[in-house]
Amino acid sequence: EQLVAYVVPGDGPGASGGPAAPDRDALRAALAAELPGYMVPAAFVVLDALPLTASGKLDAGALPAPRGEHLAHAAGRAPSGPREDLLCALFAETLDVERCWSDDDFFTLGGHSLLAARLLARVREATGVELGIRELFEAPTPAGLAAALTAREAEAGTGTGPGADLACLLPLRSGGSLPPLFCVHPAGGLAWPYAGLLQHVADRPVYGLQTPNLDGTEHFPDSIEAMAAYYVDRLRTVQPHGPYRLLGWSFGGNVVQEIAVRLQEAGEEVALLSIMDAFPVPPADGLEDAGHDVVFRALLTALGVDLSAWDADAPLDAAVVRDALRESGSPLGALEPAAIETMVGNFADQARLMRRHVPRTFRGDVLFFRATEEDPASGLVPPLWDPYVDGALVVHDVPCGHAQMLRPDARAVVGPVLDAALRAT
């Protein structure tokens, strides 16, 4: 259910000589200044006249249903980071709409008290932070709730400072009664996509591991072994001793396998090693020797960006790409151009590291998620990993492409299986 305004223009010349159609954004702003948020209409339908019954009363049944073009917000601000991206997904899920922008108002989009309780419960499950209905009334947008969550964490002393979204150890959720899950970044070095798993993995801290050069504090490691060693040091600041629970996707699957081996060599237990669509052989894509724009386009494809509408011959500029990502609603649009260029360099460097890396053997079972719409291993997933896994490779098929492994539909497959495997430990 949503509140709809039916508007009949007053006097004033329009483009065709009739009354001018009012601007929906102006109408919304005017009403927002006079009414509480839950009373501001979600849609404005302009009519030449209100339909009337034979007795001259409003014929409510004859009012046309609103369509997409009538919505007060057809577009909006893209989420700035993994937390706002998660909250946009929770808003859309609760309101049963296709998508939400960071500045979309929960009540304007049809939210009410029952849905508010459901949304706050989902926020608590996903972030581990309890917010009250007052916070939602005062800040009824994903961006507003993200700020409320940050303030609540600051009060509890569990928050992170400015720039934390690019830190090597990224707290996606710092609270929870169960042991933490550590997730190693895919191509480019960002672990932001793992925030979507918070909807499915409950009551457990979740940390992302990102390349240390994204925030400019360290250099890019010169080998997968060095990268794994650096990440082991970071994760042990949170959990000094095992059993450990580890997850890696794409390039991160190769790194996380080396992390697991290193922890075992240190006498620690690895309770769960999960790999998402990664293979112990370097891809034959030639990116380690390719030019800047070839690598840039490969990175964007790996990040799930649709390049079909982009000029294939035009040089890629990080600032232009950033603006296009922001316009499309991608949280990557919050990155500065320098960070995007760092990711391009990381993508080529990771291809070089793969060429030199020889995996070692992990002692134990591996939970493996395979993207079935792309199968570069030609169905040979267990045989490829057999020399490097002294245990069973338990394969779960996910109906998606490699770059879509953490999109909502794929997460709905991966999340429950991962959560069940974590709880079994």
Which pLDDT tens digits describe the chain residue by residue (425 residues)? 678 889 998 876 554 555 567 777 778 778 878 887 667 787 788 888 999 998 989 998 899 887 755 555 556 788 888 888 889 989 988 888 777 888 888 877 777 777 888 898 888 888 888 888 888 888 889 999 988 888 887 776 665 554 578 899 998 888 889 999 999 999 889 999 898 898 889 889 999 999 999 988 889 999 999 999 999 999 999 999 989 999 999 999 999 999 999 999 999 999 999 999 999 988 777 777 888 888 888 888 888 777 777 777 778 888 888 888 877 777 788 888 999 999 999 988 998 999 999 999 999 999 999 998 876 656 677 889 999 999 999 999 999 988 889 888 898 899 999 999 999 99
Residues 38 and 105 in one domain: no
Could you give the number of structural domains in the chain? 3
Indicate the burial class of 27 (C-beta count within 10 angstroms; 0-12, 13-18, 19 or more).
Answer: middle
Rounded to the nearest angstrom, the gap between the alpha carbon of residue 189 and the centroid of all alpha carbons in its chain is 14
User: Residue 298 is encoded by which pair of tokens?
Assistant: 């490969």
User: Residue 278 is encoded by which pair of tokens?
Assistant: 């990664």
Could you give the CA distance from residue 145 to residue 123 in angstroms, rounded to a whole number?
9
Last residue of one domain, picked from the residues 38, 70, 102: 70
Last residue of one domain, picked from the residues 128, 159, 190: 159
Q: For residue 15, what pLDDT is reported?
A: 47
Q: For residue 78, what pLDDT is reported?
A: 82
Last residue of one domain, picked from the residues 106, 129, 159: 159
Could you give the CA distance from residue 268 to residue 254 in angstroms, rounded to a whole number?
19
pTM of the model: 0.76
The per-type count for the chain, helices as H runs and strands as E runs, is 12, 11
In which domain, by residue range, is 390 found?
Answer: 161-282+357-424
In a domain? residue 376:
yes
CATH number of the domain residue 62 falls in = 3.30.300.30
Could you give the CA distance from residue 20 to residue 30 in angstroms, rounded to a whole number?
17
Phi first, then psi: what are they for 245, rounded to 5°? -125, 120
In a domain? residue 192:
yes
The partner residues of 248 in beta bridges, in order of sequence, read: 184, 275
- Starting from the edge strand earliest in sequence, which strands make up the sheet with 181-184, in order? 169-173, 206-209, 181-184, 244-249, 270-276, 366-371, 393-398
Q: For residue 422, what pLDDT is reported?
A: 97
